[in-house]
Amino acid sequence: MQKIPISLARDGMILAKEVVRPEKPDGPPLFGKGMSLSASHIERLVQMGVQSIVVEGRPVVMEGDRSLEEQLQDLETRFARCEQDAFMQKLKAALQRYITRTMEG
């Protein structure tokens, strides 16, 4: 999932989290998780003052973003000295799954 500015939202993107009114964050959602956005939905969100949304996958390459391969290589480097520590290897595996899941889905 990826948080993006509403200005980068495009027709067909799928919401990964519900969208609520900026002035009423505890209020009912405007759009629910899993909804496919249309151009009219995006325009409505802009008019309501929504600044950002969370969408499925990573459809937008933003400045400073690193690829999945770069992040996994960095993880390998960080855990290089812990190859004999079973707990640290379990932690590394959990982080690999988390990074992969968030980058791909």
Predicted confidence (pLDDT) per residue in 61-89, tens digit: 667 777 888 889 999 999 999 999 999 99
Residue 38 lies in a domain: yes
Predicted confidence (pLDDT) per residue in 43-68, tens digit: 999 998 899 999 988 766 667 777 88
The answer to whether residues 30 and 72 belong to one domain is: no
Predicted confidence (pLDDT) per residue in 9-20, tens digit: 899 999 999 998
Pairwise CA distance, residues 105 & 99, whole Å: 10
Q: Which long-range contacts (CB under 8 A, 24 or more apart) does 46-50 make?
A: 46/6, 48/21, 48/22, 49/21, 49/22, 49/23, 50/6, 50/19, 50/21, 50/22
Residue 60 lies in a domain: no
Owning domain of residue 91: 68-104
